[in-house]
Chain A
Amino acid sequence: MRRVISTVVLLVVLAAPATLQERLQLPNKEGSVRFLVIGDSGTGGGEQRAVATRIAEIYKIFPFEFAIMVGDNLYGSESANDFRRKFEEPYKPLLDGGVKFYAALGNHDDPTQRYYKNFNMNGERFYTFKAPKKGPDILGDVRFFALDSNYMSPEQLQWLEKELKAAGSGWKIPFFHHPLYSSGEKHGADVTLREQLEPLFVKYGVDVVFAGHEHFYERLKPQKGITYFVTGSAAKLRRGNIGNSGMTAKGFDTGYAFLIAEITGDELYFQALEAGGKTIDSGVVKRREVAEGAAAKTGNQKDAP
């Protein structure tokens, strides 16, 4: 009997990581750029911890180098204890593993968060950083732009245009709190922000944008060629809030979620998972400049999923 139990335990132990491994739908390729996206995460509650535990499991089989936080990094008070409870403890395995977090400010964040070193904002409310480039198949940089969508001043817009222009032909990935497109019935799209940002994104060849604010997961059908993700359910959830906008490519508003992504060459692979570890969405976004170039040659443009 003892032998049977031991065998069962062993099988369970062996089977668990294998299952997770099997569920990984990203190439997990040597030399690729791998990252995590979380939003509206800083509650310090059980839901945040459950999602963080799942993320830590994923990290073991998909070792991403950095994480982007799309705002609402800390809800409520922001004492040292809150930073510990709402950020450092839930993501300890990642911090211990050397994962760098890059935060954008949400409407629940005190702007002084930009001085917290673990958020890597360098004291700036909006900033840009380059992902570590390892593989030879990624041409150009993979550059991220963290924006403060709470306070989109003319100065920030000028800065963004200058930086997008200087970024050249590589991947350009903005992330910020308020979504330009969303099917949320609570908030919906931020139209005034969209009027300012979308023309810049289109002009300078942005392909993918990450936002939060809405407490669910949604991938929008490409808008003017750009794929928008809403990833605001890493600790908060607004059940059944995705309305019928006709713009949803994939939505998930019945559980907590996060997203992992991998860039290899001109493709960005993504996989969104719920707190239980089930995949709720996955696919690939091809860099538009490349896709359009190919379409011009072959007459067969492939849309992002």
Chain B
Amino acid sequence: MQGQLSCGVMLLSSLLMFAACSSESAHANRAPEPAAQSTAPKTNPDAEILVDFKKRIDGYMALHNKLEKEAPPLKETKDPAKIKASQDVLAMKIREARKGARQGDIFTLEIRQLFRRLMYPEVKGPEGRATKAAITEESHELKSVPLKVNAEYPDNAPLMTVPPNILAALPKLPEDLEYRFVNRNMILLDTHANVIVDFVPNAIQ
């Protein structure tokens, strides 16, 4: 994961900084730095945000891995009931353990803004049309997906494709976690538990 993070930092440091087209951006304007701090060693603010993101993901995965051990194992089987049981028990345990979880626990305001910025070049202008189309392709079938932390991703809703260029622009996730789109919103999905961990509203501008 450290290596993946380094990749993300390198990627980020090469990106141009520009404001996110988000209603949240207005609230995120930082106060001017005091003059005395201008001589302090410079750090890439995006890298700091990514470190924070990694910390939050690691925290979630520690919980996931602990609870996974208490659930029926997810292993190859001819009996699909065992797969479903493993999924349902883990989902129940995660919901119980994260009873108080709220939107923004993983995707904080700064992380949300950074993610929107990272994805924006991939969806803007005529070049981004195909990416946007792939993300929103079957959005009419997603009405049943609740944009809610700890909610189940419904069986009857398709999983929207995450285009390769979007995945390349975002930090890599550990196995069992995925980015997915629900219309223009991005969710963090625990695929073993089939539970929505957090989400970014209006991720695609």
Contact = CB atoms under 8 A, between A and B. Distances in A.
Interface string A182-196: 000001001111011
Interface stretch (A19-27, A75-83, A233-241): A75-83
A112 B82 CA distance: 11
B80 A152 contact: no
B161 A149 contact: yes
Contacts of B194: 110, 112
Interface string A122-159: 11000000000000000000000000011111110100
Contacts of B168: 154
Interface bin, chain B? 20 to 34
A192 B132 CA distance: 10
Contacts of A107: 138, 158-161
Contacts of B87: 112
Interface stretch (B25-33, B69-77, B96-104, B110-118): B69-77
Interface stretch (A6-14, A51-59, A113-121, A267-275): A113-121
B162 interface: yes
Interface bin, chain A? 35 or more
Contact of A115 (B77, B160, B162): B77
B148 interface: no
A190 B161 contact: yes
A112 B192 contact: yes
Interface string B82-106: 0110110000000000000000000
24 contacts: A78-B84, A79-B80, A80-B79, A83-B80, A107-B138, A107-B158, A109-B159, A110-B191, A112-B87, A112-B192, A115-B77, A116-B78, A151-B162, A151-B167, A152-B164, A153-B167, A153-B172, A191-B130, A191-B134, A192-B130, A192-B163, A192-B165, A195-B164, A195-B165
Interface of B: 74-81, 83-84, 86-87, 130-131, 134, 137-138, 155-156, 158-165, 167-168, 172, 178, 191-192, 194
Interface of A: 76-80, 82-83, 107-113, 115-118, 122-123, 149-155, 157, 178, 187, 190-193, 195-196
